[in-house]
Amino acid sequence: MQARLNKLTFKLHEQRDKMTPSLELRRKYIETSYLNQIRGEKEMIQSRIDRLSPGVRKTFLASRLQKLNSALNK
């Protein structure tokens, strides 16, 4: 019984060692995807702000742009 438990524990440790690089790559991919999405939204908002006349929508988009900029700077 003890040998079987040790074998199972060893297999779990092996699997964890194999999965660690994969998880790290996945985390980096998610981070870069998120940053690219924020940058794209930022550029879209900036182009819309430039075309709008002063008003509530322009103010809202400007505040959203400011929030995105602060999220990118973190």
Q: Tell whether the model's pLDDT for residue 10 goes beyond 80.
A: no
Range of the domain at 49: 2-72
Runs of H (alpha helix) within the chain: 2-51, 56-72
Per the structure, the count of domains in the chain is 1
Residues 11-66 pLDDT 10s: 877 877 777 677 788 889 999 999 899 889 888 888 887 777 778 777 888 888 88
What pLDDT is attached to residue 25? 85
Nearest-10 Cα torsion for 58, 59, 62, 66? -170
Q: Is 74 exposed, middle or buried (0-12, 13-18, 19+ CB in 10 A)?
A: exposed
Query: Alpha carbon 29 to chain centroid distance?
Result: 8
